[in-house]
Amino acid sequence: MTVLRHHPAVGLLDASGVTTVRNVSATVDLEAIGARIRAARERKGFTLDQVSSLSSISKAHLSRLEAGDRQASIGTLVELADALDVRVSALLGEDTTVNGTSQPCGLAIYAADAPSRASGELDIAAFGGFPGSRALEALRVHISAGRRARTPVTHRGEEWLYVVTGRLTFEFDAVSYDVPAGSAVHFDATHPHRLGADVDTELLLVSAIDRATLSQIRH
């Protein structure tokens, strides 16, 4: 079984203008994530009701997330990042900088041992995003053997999964699919879905959300 570990600082490239992804802890601090969600919301000047209207997440659930009383799923993190105009990695607390500064450069290269965060039986690492990018969220996800999501989730957008190693048990609209390594799944995330695995499994996950709905918000 893959052992979660504290990664050393990762210097991806030392050339000028290339994003460097730095070290983060491999444990989740729910209160810290909640505080980042709240801070991002307040920076945008949004109320809980407004963020809820931009997502499928209820006001009550948002409040519990911000208080650190609930753990956010991948889908929830993607939706919140989209609604708040930040990246998932920012909500996870990963420090993405360019040669030690926060300037846009249009490029980021992610190492094989990019920093990760543990969430339940999942080990999640941001695997995409340069400063200023917003169109896609790319994550590397490790699913521990025997993991079964308690309930299916739904959220806006589309997702694409590629099984790197292991074997994914993917449920979509109450139908279960066995997806071996080397296979991919592309689906509408507004349908109920959940992930599981009987053996340790690693995925690449790419999520895309139509950002046109952001213009619908009312202050």
> How do residues 145-164 score in pLDDT, each as one tens digit?
998 877 888 887 899 999 99
Pick out the chain residues at pLDDT < 50.
1-28, 96-103, 212-219
Q: Where are the domains of the chain?
A: 19-216
Q: Token pair 């739904």 is at which residue?
A: 154
Half-sphere exposure for 179 (CA within 13 Å, toward CB): 26
Strand order in the sheet with 193-197: 147-148, 193-197, 167-172, 175-180
Say what the pLDDT of residue 174 is. Answer: 94
DSSP H/E element including 172: strand 167-172
pTM to 2 decimal places: 0.67
Which positions ≥6 away from 146 have C-beta within 8 Å? 121, 197, 198
Say what the pLDDT of residue 130 is. Answer: 79
Length of the chain: 219
CATH fold of 19-216: Jelly Rolls (2.60.120)
